[in-house]
Chain A
Amino acid sequence: MTQPPFQILGEDGSCPDSHRGLLSDDQIEKTLDAMVLNRILDRRLLMLQRQGRLGFWMTSHGEEATIFGVAASLEPEDPIFLSYRELGCLLWREIPLPLIFNQLIGNSRDLCLGRQMPIHYCYREWSIPSVSSPVGTQLPHAAGFGYAARLRGTGRVALAFCGEGTASEGDFHTALNFAGVFSSSSIFVIRNNGYAISTPESVQTAAESLAVRAEGYGIAGYQVDGNDLLAVVNVMREARARAAAGEGPTLIEAMTYRMGAHSTADDPSAYRTEEEEAAWNRLDPYERLKRHARWRGLWDEEAEAAAQAGWEERVVATLAECERHPPPRVETLFEGVLETVSPQLEAQRDAYLADLRRSSTTDIEVP
């Protein structure tokens, strides 16, 4: 694959007439609005983590075009098997902010009852299965979900994200191989953001790209400019149509850059240069989409400023409200391991709660 990644947006924000209809004016504005919120959250939540009010955060700064391009190309009931850096998918699906914050805080209103670290989302109502930390485990799930969708003829398409580092995991291989063999209605998107924590892409593979692997699995594969929203949407639409028609899975390698650190426990200055960061800064996906919007006559400075001010206010107020909710009830610790509580666990629970009730040092409400 010696060609450059597929691209649509020109440097001046223009696009050929043939691709203008990929997204409507409304969708362009909805994306920009959500990207504004995404960046506010990245900034605010990072700050919150630094202040010790949040356990963990991972920014998606720089990768928004890939994330929103994927979300905007799917049907609302298509499951998105998240890797972990795809907050934008939740924002595109308009999952209410309190539900997101309650998960990050792990409070009593968290749908997952505070059982996982921040960003390990799960929202069944919005077709977002559960995120887990071991990387790549979600990929075979998407192959299986996509097989079930084809078998039952539901028309759904399962999408899974992973990073270029995760493409080295065994689960990546088995997922693409199984999806190919069973012609699963699945799409696999690699966010190639250059680094797996500190490890550069060159350590993950000797091949010229990850997209070329598609050929080895007998499936379609594309490399796309991951900072070009329209290019991502264009490739995704084709992949989705093929998957929904039962014509098999697609591998998409989106070339992008993680402009922030890997996580709140990482310092990228130790492994990459300012020159490199500056070069990618010029390809900032939000700025590129904004230029495109201006080219269409949308999203003037006033609209942008209004979005920023509006979201800032809502985020601050909603965060404050969510931080007031208490932690989950202590007895929820023992619930939902199996459908019913096992006799072994029941005995452990009863003994622990009895001790808690007797304890004078706890202010926890015990049933």
Chain B
Amino acid sequence: MAETGTLNMIQALNDALDQYMERDEDAVILGEDVGHFGGVFRVTNGLQEKYGSERVFDTPLAEAGIVGMAIGMGLAGLRPIVEIQFADFIFPAFDQIVNELAKYRYRSGGQYAPRVLIRTPYGGGIRGGHYHSQSPEVYFAHTPGLRVVVPSGPYEAKGLLLGALECADPVIFLEPKRIYRAARGEIPLDYYTLPLERARVVRKGEDITLVAWGAMLHTCQEAAALAEGEGYDVELIDLQSLAPYDLRSLVRSVERTGRMVVVHEAPMTCGFGAELVAAVQAAAFDCLKAPLQRVTGFDTPFPYTLEDHYLPSAERITRELARTIEY
């Protein structure tokens, strides 16, 4: 039996980075405050001390420079791991990510494929207002050439991060900061990877398929429990990878349940739920018993004082589950 330990998500991510740095001499970590300080959320804690300040280092405060420099390092054969302090601050680097990193392999006919992984804490529920709460996943999921991966707990965080680091593609690794410390679990201390782009069935059920990722998965677990009290049997799926995404698993589930609700924090219009609903209805149209629905943040900027109203709550999700089942 392999050794296990009880870790929260931050510790699991730190462990993954540590083990990867140990294995791959080309791996380099860069970002704001990631060095001596170990990151504002402590994910890179102790790594500079262990691997030196040439492999784990603080940068000037400029996201476009961080990602642009990482691309150059990747072209030279290094394996840069970037931390963008908050996903809300990733936009100065948008051009470098969308026009350079995402397209490099394609536009060079495969001559160059810089392996850059960008980790960034995202999502609400921490009283962070507009600029420490957003969920920017669709901007990246909409860009061919990027992978978008979102863990929902410590086991997934470590396994998916190591899987993403072994992968040759550029990855946007979105870390749900609300559950950084709250999500704890017993996980293997050894090196292990989880496959990217595979959805995970968290809970089996027969009446409806509920899909979420990141912190919303935990809210959905509460909702599924509440729904169970009302007599509804919910199948809960953790999507884990948004680009590419595991349509087959969703379709297989909906073919059985005939119903689906997608939950995300980002605004509804053009959110990733729209993609899932469109793809699932096309693939499973004959099996549907009710319209496919979304429970999401509203089409407003992310609020401060009223964030509990903005974020999908277990009650709101449960109401939608009941409405859809009773349709």
Contact = CB atoms under 8 A, between A and B. Distances in A.
A144 B77 CA distance: 11
B144 A178 contact: no
Contact of A134 (B54, B75, B78, B95): B95
Interface in B135-163: 144-145, 147
B50 interface: no
B183 interface: no
Contact of A140 (B64, B76, B103, B244): B64
Contact of A124 (B68, B112, B144): B112
B99 A134 contact: yes
A147 B248 contact: no
Interface residues on A, range: 35 or more
B54 A129 contact: no
B78 A148 contact: yes
A343 B247 contact: yes
B140 to A, nearest CB: 13
Interface string A104-117: 00000011110110
B108 A124 contact: yes
A143 B72 contact: yes
Contacts of B167: 339
Interface in A167-221: 170-171, 173-175, 177-178, 181-182
Interface string B159-172: 00000000111000
A24 interface: no
Given A122-B108, A344-B244, 6 more contacts: A115-B107, A124-B111, A145-B75, A171-B68, A173-B62, A178-B69
A339 B92 CA distance: 27
Contacts of A156: 76
A111 B111 contact: yes
B112 A141 contact: no
A122 B109 contact: yes
B109 A112 contact: yes
Contacts of B109: 110-113, 115, 122, 336
Given A140-B68, A339-B167, A151 B54 contact: yes
Given A111-B109, A122-B108, A174-B60, A144 B100 contact: no
B264 to A, nearest CB: 18
Nearest to B167: A339
Given A122-B112, A137-B100, A139-B68, A130 B169 contact: no
Contacts of B145: 337-338
Contact of B60 (A79, A132, A178): A178
A182 B78 CA distance: 16
A130 B57 CA distance: 27
A142 B72 contact: yes
B72 A144 contact: yes
B82 to A, nearest CB: 11
A158 interface: yes
Interface string B221-250: 000000000000000000000011111100
Interface in A310-344: 336-339, 342-344
B112 A130 contact: yes
Contacts of A182: 57, 69
Nearest to B283: A347
A255 interface: no
Contacts of B72: 140-148, 158
Nearest to A343: B244
14 contacts: A111-B109, A132-B107, A137-B96, A137-B99, A137-B100, A140-B67, A140-B68, A151-B54, A171-B96, A174-B60, A174-B68, A181-B59, A337-B105, A338-B169
B113 interface: yes
A229 B152 CA distance: 59
A339 B111 contact: no
Contacts of B64: 140, 170-171, 174
A148 B60 contact: no
Q: Which of B107, B113, B168, B248 has the most CB of A within 10 A?
A: B107
Contacts of A120: 107
A144 B30 CA distance: 11
A149 interface: yes
Contacts of B59: 178, 181
A137 B104 contact: no
B5 interface: no
Interface string B100-123: 100111111111110000000000
B101 to A, nearest CB: 10
B69 A338 contact: no
A164 to B, nearest CB: 20
Given A111-B111, A177-B60, A144 B68 contact: yes
A26 B80 CA distance: 42
B71 interface: yes
Interface in A271-325: none
A140 B73 CA distance: 10
A122 B62 contact: no
Contacts of B54: 151
A132 B99 contact: yes
Q: Which of A113, A137, A152, A173 has the most CB of B within 10 A?
A: A137
A344 to B, nearest CB: 6
B114 to A, nearest CB: 9
